[in-house]
């Protein structure tokens, strides 16, 4: 399994020939180093409806007939934008797809989409984090969230191989909150996300990883288009 970071919160996962995307914000992402026209997509998972997370979902889904998995209200909205294959989900209910299992966790944040055609803001349901299990590996993408005490429950009863945690502050957890979240979650490895894309979320990812190491935890900074393997 290959996991590639594309800046902000956009993550690409390639597993058994399938291309998965979480929050594929490429066009307009100042941290992204790739063009959306050159990417492939079989499954797209969305944490919430903000434009910097929905990103290029519609274009990718229409080009490749990709399945879009999203919070229910966001899935319904995307159906209205001619996304042919959607699967809406709620918080806490796992679902077994042919490729693996998906479950949404809580995330403390907002969720709305500004329609570029009308400039109107559309409510897109409750935001979430995502637990994605492919084969014998589980990835936790926390989405945009502040710290909340129920993060202590996320790693109970299951092994999390990789956790992607926002550290940018202002809109999400900052580094100190993310360190506490990491202690609670108990993943094998952590990657900081959702930082340095825009001035309000400027942070030091390398320091975050050093602070993880001081707590006996393992982390790695991925620059845009860098990958790790699980």
Domain extent listing, the chain: 2-222
Residue 188 φ then ψ, to 5°: -70, -30
Q: 81: how many CB neighbours lie within 10 A of its CB?
A: 15
* 219: DSSP letter: B
Residue with tokens 């699967």: 87
**Which pLDDT belongs to residue 157?**
87
Structure tokens, 150: 């129920």
pLDDT tens digits along 57-113? 999 999 999 999 999 999 999 999 999 999 999 999 999 999 999 999 999 999 999
pLDDT tens digits along 78-92? 999 999 999 999 999
Structure tokens, 123: 């409510």
Structure tokens, 163: 């956790």
Residue 92 φ then ψ, to 5°: 90, -5
Q: Quick check: 179 and 152 in contact, CB under 8 A?
A: no
Please, what are the averages of pLDDT over each run of 10 residues along the chain (230 residues)?
Answer: 98 98 96 91 98 97 97 97 97 97 98 92 97 98 98 93 98 98 98 98 98 98 96
Closest CA to 33 of 222, 205, 204: 222
Alpha carbons 171 and 132: distance in angstroms, whole number: 24
Domain 2-222 is found in CATH 3.40.50.2000: no
Alpha carbons 209 and 69: distance in angstroms, whole number: 30
């Amino acid at each position: 399994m290959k996991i590639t970071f594309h800046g902000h919160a956009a993550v690409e996962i390639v597993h058994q020939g399938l291309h998965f995307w979480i929050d594929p914000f490429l066009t307009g992402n100042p941290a992204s180093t790739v063009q959306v026209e050159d990417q492939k997509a079989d499954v797209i998972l969305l944490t919430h409806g903000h434009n910097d997370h929905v990103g290029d979902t519609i274009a990718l889904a229409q080009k490749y007939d990709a399945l879009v998995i999203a919070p229910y209200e966001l899935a319904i909205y995307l159906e209205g934008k001619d996304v042919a294959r959607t699967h809406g989900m709620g918080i806490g209910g796992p679902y077994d797809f042919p490729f693996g299992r998906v479950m949404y966790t809580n995330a403390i944040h907002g969720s709305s989409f500004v329609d570029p055609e009308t400039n109107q803001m559309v409510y897109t349901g409750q935001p979430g984090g995502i637990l994605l299990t492919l084969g014998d590996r589980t990835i936790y993408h926390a989405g945009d969230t502040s710290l909340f005490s129920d993060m202590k429950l996320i790693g109970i009863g299951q092994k999390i191989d990789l956790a992607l945690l926002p550290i940018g502050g202002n809109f999400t957890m900052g580094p100190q909150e993310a360190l506490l979240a990491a202690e609670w979650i108990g993943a094998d490895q952590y990657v900081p996300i959702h930082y340095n894309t825009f001035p309000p979320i400027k942070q030091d990812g390398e320091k975050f990883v050093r602070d993880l190491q001081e707590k006996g935890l393992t982390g790695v900074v991925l620059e845009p288009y860098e990958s790790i393997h699980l």
